């Protein structure tokens, strides 16, 4: 079973994402911010990361830059999932090493399509 | 809606569009046609059926057909047909058409444009290989309403996120609030026309590739066989047919053969008794040139 780290400061979003991704047969790990997510990745790298942008302590963009420098940190497929829905943010995320980008609000079909696009399902 | 009203609508929809509705789809008819009735200033479905029955309001009947046949679509739907387009179909056609340097493609159920535009974006990615080629991309649909949306190429945030890779979104679309519009250069690659698959389409000429996806599923067996038989007559003998994931030619026609290990991909059966099947040399009047070597 593949693992997905869901990083979002909203417990509601984490709950919704968990329900969708468990339906796609992912094992879920949660983190509330970028710092906790880095600690989680240092313990065990997931196959996928669903990543919010705006979070306290460390935001998603900074998390991604740190992640990609970790040993093996290039392996997880990172899918941003954020309300930052403009082209400039999308371009920045891709430049920093994001594999896909979900603009909130989202639904199961969108998550499934994006995960399929990057070869996770 | 009375059972008689429902039966009447089912019969008329079958005649006009080939759409087959089972007896348990009354809820679908109600949910789709109530807005049509309201828009027309009618009190409800009973009055709508009454007006349609009178035969004096063709526009209303068209609206009914369009409301019932409009189906959701998304970019790069099912992914595999587009992988096959890039890796199997186009390389084979490019090799086979080196002399004429012309390829004709038809999307027979274009809906709001996501499918033809997905193909157009694939073609854009391979523009080096087809530089100087004449590629025609015709997209048809029964519904004028969806074709108008297709021509505009404007999609919601939800629509652009279903199947469209993010790199292609930022490369080919411009954003206005929560709407995204496809670049004029991609839109110009597709020519749209209204067409009912139940009517004759021989006049469209020969195609090297026909995408006819997720429309046959709404037809009964006889109509499916009829449409497939007529498609076989306008696909080049070395051309391709692509059907939807839930569709097949098996048990319907011998005019096409399955391409092994390529889901949804079919080629003309050369053993099939042809009735004046056009050859690749017989071309219809040109519709639109999308790659005349200027790029």
ipTM: 0.91
pLDDT band at B275 (very low <50, low <70, confident <90, very high): low
| Beta carbons of B157 and A86 less than 8 Å apart | no
Q: Is B221 on the interface with A (CB under 8 A)?
A: no
Mutation site for A-interface testing, chosen from B73, B76, B81, B161 by largest number of A Cβ within 10 Å: B161
Q: How far apart are the first and last CA of chain A?
A: 11
Highest average pLDDT, of A1-5, B48-52, B243-247, B269-273, comes from: A1-5
| Beta carbons of A94 and B166 less than 8 Å apart | yes
User: Which letter does DSSP use for residue A98 in this model?
Assistant: -
| Beta carbons of A114 and B175 less than 8 Å apart | no
| Beta carbons of B169 and A90 less than 8 Å apart | yes
Q: What are the chain A neighbours of B83 within 8 Å (beta carbons)?
A: none
User: Which pLDDT does position B65 carry in this prediction?
Assistant: 86
CATH 1.10.155 domain position(s) in chain B? 3-69
| Beta carbons of A90 and B165 less than 8 Å apart | no
Beta bridge partners of B106: B138, B210
Q: Is B275 on the interface with A (CB under 8 A)?
A: no
Nearest-neighbour CA in chain A from B109: distance (Å): 22
Q: What are the chain A neighbours of B165 within 8 Å (beta carbons)?
A: 100, 117
Beta bridge partners of B193: B140
Nearest-neighbour CA in chain B from A43: distance (Å): 30
Lowest mean pLDDT among A10-24, B5-19, B59-73: B59-73
Question: What's the token pair of residue A43?
Answer: 């313990």
Lowest mean pLDDT among A6-20, A65-79, B16-30: B16-30
| Beta carbons of B166 and A87 less than 8 Å apart | no
Q: Is B161 on the interface with A (CB under 8 A)?
A: yes
Report yes or no: B124 and B186 within 8 Å, Cβ to Cβ. yes
Which residue, among A13, A113, A98, has the nearest Cα to B159 in the 3D structure? A113
Domain count, chain A: 1
Q: What are the chain B neighbours of A85 within 8 Å (beta carbons)?
A: 157, 178
Q: Is B191 on the interface with A (CB under 8 A)?
A: no
A94: cis peptide before it, omega within 30°?
no
User: Which pLDDT does position B293 carry in this prediction?
Assistant: 38
| Beta carbons of A87 and B175 less than 8 Å apart | yes
Nearest-neighbour CA in chain B from A39: distance (Å): 28
Say if residue B212's pLDDT is above 90: yes
A23: cis peptide before it, omega within 30°?
no
Report yes or no: B187 and B215 within 8 Å, Cβ to Cβ. no
- Domain residues for A16? 2-117
> Active-site residue numbers of B?
32, 141
Say if residue B292's pLDDT is above 80: no
> CA quadruple A108, A110, A116, A120: dihedral positive or negative?
negative
User: Which pLDDT does position B291 carry in this prediction?
Assistant: 45
- How far is it, in rounded angstroms, from Cα B92 to Cα B95? 5
| Beta carbons of A87 and B165 less than 8 Å apart | no
Across the interface, which of A100, A103, A114 has its CB nearest the CB of B157?
A103
At B222, is the secondary structure helix, strand, or coil?
helix
pTM for the structure as a whole:
0.86
Across the interface, which of A85, A102, A117 has its CB nearest the CB of B165?
A117
CATH of the domain at A106: 3.40.50.2300
Which residue shows structure tokens 């005019």? Answer: B255
User: Which pLDDT does position B290 carry in this prediction?
Assistant: 44
**How many cross-chain Cβ pairs, A to B, lie less than 8 Å apart?**
33
User: What fold, for B3-69?
Assistant: Chemotaxis Receptor Methyltransferase Cher; domain 1 (1.10.155)
CATH 3.40.50.150 domain position(s) in chain B? 80-268
User: Which pLDDT does position B58 carry in this prediction?
Assistant: 86
- The pLDDT tens digits for B55-112 are 888 889 888 888 887 667 889 998 999 999 999 999 999 999 999 999 999 999 999 9
User: What fold, for B80-268?
Assistant: Rossmann fold (3.40.50)
- The pLDDT tens digits for A47-103 are 999 999 999 999 999 999 999 999 999 999 999 999 999 999 999 999 999 999 999
User: Which pLDDT does position B274 carry in this prediction?
Assistant: 60
Say if residue B282's pLDDT is above 50: no
- The pLDDT tens digits for B117-156 are 999 999 999 999 999 999 999 999 999 989 999 999 999 9
User: Which pLDDT does position B294 carry in this prediction?
Assistant: 35
Torsion of the alpha carbons at A95, A99, A105 and A108, rounded to the nearest 10: 180
Nearest-neighbour CA in chain B from A57: distance (Å): 27
* φ/ψ (deg, to 5) at B224: -60, -50
């Amino acid at each position: 079973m593949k693992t997905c780290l869901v990083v979002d400061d909203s417990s509601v979003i984490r709950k919704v994402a968990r329900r969708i991704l468990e339906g796609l047969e992912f094992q879920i790990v949660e983190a509330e911010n970028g710092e906790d997510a880095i600690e989680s990745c240092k313990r065990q790298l997931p196959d996928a990361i669903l990543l919010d942008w705006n979070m306290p302590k460390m935001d998603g963009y900074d998390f991604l830059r740190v992640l990609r420098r970790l040993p093996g940190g290039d392996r997880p497929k990172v899918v941003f999932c954020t309300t930052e829905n403009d082209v400039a943010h999308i371009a920045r995320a891709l430049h920093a090493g994001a594999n896909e980008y979900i603009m909130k609000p989202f639904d199961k079909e969108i998550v499934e399509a994006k995960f399929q696009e990057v070869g996770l399902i | 809606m009375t059972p008689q009203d429902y039966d009447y609508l089912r019969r008329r929809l079958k005649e006009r569009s080939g759409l087959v509705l089972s007896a348990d789809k009354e809820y679908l008819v109600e949910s789709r046609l109530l807005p049509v009735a309201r828009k027309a200033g009618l009190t409800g479905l009973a009055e709508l059926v009454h007006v349609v029955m009178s035969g004096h309001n063709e526009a209303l009947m068209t609206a009914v057909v369009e409301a019932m046949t409009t189906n959701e679509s998304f970019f790069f739907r099912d992914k595999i047909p587009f992988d096959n387009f890039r890796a199997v179909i186009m390389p084979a056609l490019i090799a086979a058409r080196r002399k004429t340097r012309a390829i004709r493609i038809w999307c027979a159920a274009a809906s709001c444009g996501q499918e033809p535009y997905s193909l157009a974006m694939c073609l854009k990615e391979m523009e080096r290989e087809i530089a100087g080629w004449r590629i025609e991309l015709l997209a048809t649909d029964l519904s004028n309403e969806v074709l108008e949306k297709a021509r505009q190429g404007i999609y919601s945030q939800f629509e652009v996120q279903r199947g469209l890779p993010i790199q292609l979104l930022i490369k080919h679309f411009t954003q206005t609030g929560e709407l995204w519009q496809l670049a004029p250069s991609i839109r110009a690659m597709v020519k749209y026309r209204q067409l009912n698959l139940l009517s004759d389409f021989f006049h469209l000429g020969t195609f090297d590739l026909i995408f006819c996806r997720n429309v046959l599923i709404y037809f009964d067996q006889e109509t499916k066989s009829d449409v497939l038989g007529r498609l076989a007559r306008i696909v080049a003998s070395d051309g391709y047919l692509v059907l939807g994931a839930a569709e097949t030619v098996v048990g319907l026609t011998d005019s096409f053969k399955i391409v092994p290990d390529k889901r949804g991909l079919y080629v003309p059966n050369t053993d099939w008794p042809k009735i004046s099947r056009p050859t690749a040399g017989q071309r219809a009047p040109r519709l639109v040139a999308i790659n005349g070597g200027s790029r």
